[in-house]
Amino acid sequence: MTIEIKVPDIGDFSEVEVIEVLVKEGDTVSAEQSIITVESDKASMEIPCPTAGVVKELKVSLGQKVAEGTLMLVLEPASGAAPADKKPEAAAPAAAPVPVAEAPKAESAPVATPAPVDSPLPVAPGKTHPVPVEMHEPTAVNTALPHASPSVRRFARELGVDLGNVGGSGPKGRITPDDVRNYVKQAVAGALSAPVGKPASGGGAGLDLLPWPKVDFSKFGETEELELSRIKKLSGPNLHRNWVMIPHVTQFDEADITDLEQFRKDTNAALAKQGVKLTMLAFVMKACVTVLKKYPAFNSSLSEGGDKLILKKFWNIGFAADTPNGLVVPVIKGVDQKGFAQIANELGELSAQARDGKLKGADMQGATFTISSLGGVGGTAFTPIINAPEVAILGLSKSQMKPVWNGSAFEPRLMLPLSLSYDHRVIDGAQAARFTTELAGVLADMRKALL
C-alpha cells in the first residue's frame, strides 16, 4: 500500500517556491517530520509528513512552485500507520516494493573528506568538508538535518552557508543567526590571506569564494594600467579586514550649526592678525570629546579575545586627511586638554605633513575615535568604515541651508549631516541614536561643552 502525500492548506498563497527538499527516495520518515521547506515573499515554512513510512517516490524538486494539493511524494506507510486525512490507495500490481537498502545512490552525492589542518574555514565538531554539489541536484541532501529554524535556513542560504558545517549554540544545539554570522566571519577572515584572483585554501565548506574575474578589457577599448600607491596598498587590506570582521551599522543625523558657524567666522575675523584660523573640524572634535565622556563605550576597544571591553580614559581623535596618494589618519592627542585654537593649528600642521608625505609613525597612532570629514568636497551622507581597534567613526558631509520648523514658522538653518558608523558588538542602535542626538545638541550650543 502507498499513500500520496500532498501539500496541505498553506494559507493565502496561490503558489510558493520549494527552497529545500529535506528527504530523498528510500528515506524513512516519522510522523510530523519536515519533508520540504517552502518560501513565500513573507515567510518560510516547513511542511511535515502526516504519517510515518518510507519515501518511495519524490515528486518535487528545488525551485519548483507548489500549491495546496500538489503531490510531494509517494509514501509506503509504516506498519499499522495511517494518515490523518488521506485514504490509502492501492499500488499498481507491477510496482513491487523496492527494499530501502537497494535504493539507487546518486552519483553526485557528497563525499566526506577530512578538512585540511591549515584550512581557514571553520568546521563544527565532528563535521567534515563535503565536496561541493551543484544546487540543482535534488539528491544531494544531508540526512543529518541541522537543527535550525526556517528563518535561519533562509539566512544561511542567502550567505551561501552549508548549515551542516555550523555548530549550534542554542538550546539542544539549535543553530542561531549569530552562529551563521560567526561562521561567515571566520571563513572570510581566512580568505583575506589569499591573493586577489585566487580563492582561499580549504574551500568546499559551504562558503567558497569565486576566483577574481579575468577580463581582457583591451578587447572593448583603450586601457591604461596604473600602479596603486603605497598608501592604498597598505590601507586596502586593513579596510577589507575592518569591513569583514566588524558588524557595521551607520546612524544618520543632522546638527544645526548656524550659530556655531557664525561664531567661527566672527572669531576668525577678530584673530586674523594673530594668524589663527579656526575650522569647523576643531569644534566638532571638542564636541565629540564631551559626548564621548558621557558615552564611554564609543571611546573603547574590544579585547583580542572579544570577551572584554577596554575603556580608555584619554581622548585622542584621529582625522582622515586627503593626500595625492590616498587617505591617511593623523591623530590629535589629548583633545580634552586643548583649546580650539591649538587644535586648529595642529590640524593644519598635520594635514600639511600628510600631503607632503612627512608624517611620522607616532603621528598616526593612539587614536580612540576617528572623524572623516567630506564637508569640503560634498555629499549628503556616507558610511565610513571603522578604524580597528576603535569601535566607532564619525562622518561629516557638506553642511547645507535648510528650512527648519521652529514651532511657528520655517526659518533657514545651516545643517551639518552626521554619519556615525559603530561596531554592533559593542554599541546598539539606541546608544548610537543618543550619541548623535547629544552631539547635535552640543554643536548647536557649544556652551554645553563647558558643563
Write down the pLDDT at residue 145.
Answer: 59
**Percent of the chain as helix, strand, coil, to the nearest 5:** 30, 25, 50
pTM of the model: 0.59
- Mean pLDDT of the region 81-86: 48
Q: What is the pLDDT confidence band of residue 147, given thresholds at 50, 70 and 90?
A: confident
Tally of CB atoms within 10 A around 76: 18
Write down the pLDDT at residue 101.
Answer: 40
More confident residue, 149 or 99: 149
Among 11-20, 244-253, 318-327, 333-342, where is mean pLDDT lowest?
11-20
Closest alpha carbon to 70 in 10, 136, 22, 19: 10
Q: Mapping DSSP to helix (H, G, I), strand (E, B) and coil, where does residue 358 land?
A: coil
Write down the pLDDT at residue 271.
Answer: 84
More confident residue, 328 or 129: 328
Q: Is the dihedral of CA 61, 67, 73, 79 positive or negative?
A: positive
What domains appear along the chain, each with residue ranges and CATH number? 3-102 (2.40.50.100), 112-191 (4.10.320.10), 236-450 (3.30.559.10)
Q: Mapping DSSP to helix (H, G, I), strand (E, B) and coil, where does residue 11 land?
A: coil
Among 15-19, 142-146, 226-230, 318-322, where is mean pLDDT lowest?
142-146
Write down the pLDDT at residue 85.
Answer: 45
Q: State the pairing for strand pair 309-311/53-58.
A: unpaired
Instruction: Quote the percentage of the chain above a pLDDT of 90.
Output: 48
pLDDT 10s digits, 179-228: 888 888 777 666 555 554 444 444 444 455 567 888 999 999 999 999 98
Q: Is pLDDT at 62 greater than 60 in this prediction?
A: yes
More confident residue, 130 or 36: 36
Q: What is the pLDDT confidence band of residue 43, given thresholds at 50, 70 and 90?
A: low
More confident residue, 10 or 81: 10
Write down the pLDDT at residue 1.
Answer: 83
Torsion of CA 295, 298, 303, 304, to 10 degrees: 170
- Mean pLDDT of the region 307-331: 92
Write down the pLDDT at residue 412.
Answer: 97
**Which residues are CB-neighbours of 266 under 8 A, at least 6 positions away?**
none
- Mean pLDDT of the region 410-419: 97
Burial class (CB in 10 A: 0-12, 13-18, 19+), 138: middle
Tally of CB atoms within 10 A around 370: 23
The highest-confidence range among 59-63, 172-176, 273-277, 333-337, by mean pLDDT, is 333-337
Write down the pLDDT at residue 208.
Answer: 55
Mean per-residue pLDDT over the chain, rounded: 81
Among 11-15, 47-51, 118-122, 133-137, where is mean pLDDT lowest?
133-137
More confident residue, 378 or 112: 378
Mark 415-449 as b/e (b = at least 16 C-beta within 10 Å): bbbbbbbbbeebbeeeebeebbebbbebbbebeeb
Write down the pLDDT at residue 209.
Answer: 58
Q: Is pLDDT at 143 greater than 60 in this prediction?
A: no
Write down the pLDDT at residue 194.
Answer: 52
pLDDT 10s digits, 330-373: 999 999 999 999 999 999 999 999 988 888 889 999 999 999 99
Write down the pLDDT at residue 38.
Answer: 85
Write down the pLDDT at residue 408.
Answer: 95
Q: Is pLDDT at 229 greater than 60 in this prediction?
A: yes
Enumerate the active-site residues. 424
Closest alpha carbon to 387 in 371, 363, 398: 371
Cell numbers describing residue 367? 587614536
The answer, yes or no, to whether the previous bond of 77 is cis (omega within 30 of 0) is: no
Q: Is pLDDT at 95 greater than 50 in this prediction?
A: no
pLDDT 10s digits, 378-408: 999 999 999 999 999 999 999 999 999 999 9
Q: What is the pLDDT confidence band of residue 97, given thresholds at 50, 70 and 90?
A: very low
Q: Is pLDDT at 253 greater than 90 in this prediction?
A: yes
